A = this chain, B = another copy of it.
Amino acid sequence: MLRTNLDFLSFIERFCREIESENISLKSFKPGYRLIEQGDKISNIYIIKEGISKCFISEENGKDFIIEFLGKGEVVGELEALKKIDCLCNVAAISEVTAYVIPDHVFLSLIQKSSEFTTILLQELSTRIIQTSTRASFQQLYTVEYALLKLLQLQANESISLSKDDMAAYLGISVRSFNRSLKQLIEKGNQDRPEFKNMLQTANIKKLVDRLK
């Protein structure tokens, strides 16, 4: 859910040290700032060095769907560079974010020149397909309650905690539904539903739930 790719990051950091010029820069963004706006044309790709951002689609009916949360080493804008298309998602910083800004021609030439880089990129794209497909299936076919439980576990594992709005947008539901499901989950945890109780007893998840009240 919070994707990271340390291979990518270390490759790029090495590359930057070697080839100083090449107009690669490191920029910082305040929480909430939109690195990328859906529909824009861009000519850079970004690789996150620090912080967490969210990648989300805004539909015409006014609703947002969060595709993924991006952490260290995740790349953004590469699909647009590869396929020469306008941005299909928004990307916004959640925490303070610093990222390498790389002109797309540098990115594309890296693919040509470095098979190591290409390998890392192929791995990254594969991972995305797997995660996106798996999640789409899970969220379509299971109840919100299960999806929410899974989302809490993921956050506990990654030691992050998202806002309610973001969680609802990730689950593709309204905040109202989110609140309802959360309440039900807590009730079931206090009763003796084994599936729920065990998971909700975990210290990390308890903390998360407490914060949400």
Contact = CB atoms under 8 A, between A and B. Distances in A.
A44 B141 CA distance: 30
Contacts of A134: 57, 88
Given A88-B130, A125-B126, A65 B136 contact: yes
A61 B136 CA distance: 15
Interface stretch (A4-12, A95-103, A116-124, A189-197): A116-124
Interface string A167-201: 00000100000000000000000000000000000
- Count of identical protomers in the assembly: 2
A19 B138 CA distance: 42
A63 B141 CA distance: 7
A86 B121 CA distance: 21
A12 to B, nearest CB: 18
Contact of A65 (B61, B67, B123, B141): B141
Interface of A: 57, 59, 61, 63, 65, 67, 79, 82-83, 85, 88-89, 111-112, 115, 118, 121-123, 125-130, 132-142, 172
State the 8 A-B residue pairs at the shortest beta-carbon distance, nearest first: A140-B172, A65-B137, A136-B136, A125-B125, A57-B137, A63-B141, A132-B132, A82-B126
